[in-house]
Structures are given as structure tokens and as C-alpha cells.
Amino acid sequence: MFADADLSADGFLGGRLRILQPVQGYRAAMDPVLLAAAAPARSGESVLELGCGAGVASLCLGLRVPGLQLAGLELQPAYAQLARRNAEANGQNLEVFDGDLTAPPAVLRARAFEHVIANPPYYPAGGGTPSADAGRERALREATPLSIWIDAGLRRLRPGGWLVMIQSADRLPDLLAALGPRAGSVAVLPVAPRVGRPAGRVIIRARKGGRGAFLLAAPFVVHEGAAHLCDGDDLTPAARAVLRDGAAIDL
């Protein structure tokens, strides 16, 4: 487990959430906030986050939509315990399960949810320079294939439930292929750093058993202007509404 001296307290959603994160390990930034904003959950519904880490996405969603039944599954016990601490400190109920999504605990396999959200690792196994921190390496580098993440999410969904993921844009073909015939009503939102720049991330939303038309949405642009020209916050109004004010992303 993490010692308090190894943690920092970081603000999310304009400081309305205070999240403990390891100083040297995996540290959440913008992506889980965007993921939470894209989940179409309503009060009273149930949400499972696969690979919940320190709980940022679930807690952002819980702040935006009070009354949710929140659950998370996390492989690394130290991060699972951190998610529990963060939920308690922020006055939210987040039930965190320790375990692997390839073999979730029996109590979790017996449940079904209206929504499943996930921010799977972006980097392929065996490529690039591994992180010196084992927890960060496990969070960022793919050990379980993306197709298994999607299969695990669909298995935990009720019929008509929504799967929402954020992933590196170059993995979009893999995401679409893995959904197969079990999910439809697919919407894809490219996330671009600036106008005219290629999307670095995509948010994908799909409905279990859905039959709606495919939607490729206009890009969500994070920063104003063609380049960062000065110190300070250069977020677009849409990005500021989501990242600072906790607004939803409509797809």
C-alpha cells in the first residue's frame, strides 16, 4: 500500500474533487474526466468501471450525477485501496473490487450494470521504454488484449446497457472490430488537442444489443489556438465546461 508521504492530493473538476495519487506511480489527468463526462448515466442507475485505478473517473461521474450505484474493479491492490480512500474523502459510495477483469470475483460476475466505463492501457505490450514504476507500467502498457476488455465490459452489461471507453486514436479499428455483433448504436468522438491537429484520443460509446446507426461526431477540441503561446489555461469553452465545471459530453 502507499504511504501518505508518497501521495499527493490533486484537484479535479475545478477543485470540487480532491484525489490522492502516488507521486511516482500512475497519475490520472484529463482522460478519466472525459470518460466520465461521456457516460450517459442517470440517477439511480448502476455503473461499473473496469480498471478504476485511484477512482478518478467513477468519482467525477458520481459528482456530476448524484444517486448512482458506483462500482470499480482494480487489479492492483494499492490502487484499489486508494480508490476506497478517495471515495470516502469525497463523500461518495464507490464499491471497489480487487481482481482481474479476465477472472472477476464471483460476486461481481453475478451482477449486471446499466453502464460500464473503462480507460484501458494505451501502449502495446513489448513496445517503447518501460516505466521504472511497476504500477505505472501496468496501468499504461497493455497486458490484457483490448478485445478482452471489451468482452468483459459487455458481459457485465444488462441488455440495452452502455459501454463507454476512452482509448488512443490509433486503436479505433481494434475497438470497432472487438464490439462485433453484440453491440451497436456506436458513437465515436475524436478528441483533438487543437483545431487542425490529428485526434490523439477517441471516446467510443456502444449499446449492448443496439441497432442504431453509427455516428462519427465532430472532434472535441481541448485547447484554443494553433499553439500554446502563453502561461495559463487555454482550454476551449467546451473543454473548460467538462474539465473544470463537470459538464457532460453529449454524443
The model's confidence at residue 137, banded by pLDDT at 50, 70 and 90, is very low
pLDDT higher than 90, residue 155: yes
State the distance between the two ends of the chain, measured CA to CA, in whole angstroms.
38
Least confident interval from 124-133, 134-143, 212-221, 231-240 = 134-143
pLDDT tens digits along 34-92: 999 999 999 999 999 999 999 999 999 999 999 999 999 999 999 999 999 999 999 99
The model's confidence at residue 227, banded by pLDDT at 50, 70 and 90, is confident
Measured distance CA(39)–CA(34) in Å, rounded: 9
The pTM (predicted TM-score) of the whole model is: 0.91
Question: Given this model, what pLDDT does residue 135 score?
Answer: 47
pLDDT tens digits along 175-221: 999 999 999 999 999 999 999 999 999 999 999 999 999 999 999 99
State the chain's mean pLDDT as an integer: 92
Question: Given this model, what pLDDT does residue 130 score?
Answer: 55
CA angle 69, 150, 12 (to 5 degrees): 50
pLDDT higher than 90, residue 122: no
Which amino acid is it at 170? Answer: D
- The answer to whether 67 and 41 have CB atoms below 8 angstroms apart is no
Measured distance CA(83)–CA(88) in Å, rounded: 9
pLDDT higher than 70, residue 133: no
232: its cell numbers: 495559463
Topology adopted by domain 4-243: Rossmann fold (3.40.50)
Q: Where are the beta strands (DSSP E) in the chain?
A: 7-12, 17-22, 46-50, 69-74, 94-98, 113-118, 157-168, 183-192, 201-208, 215-216, 220-221
The model's confidence at residue 166, banded by pLDDT at 50, 70 and 90, is very high
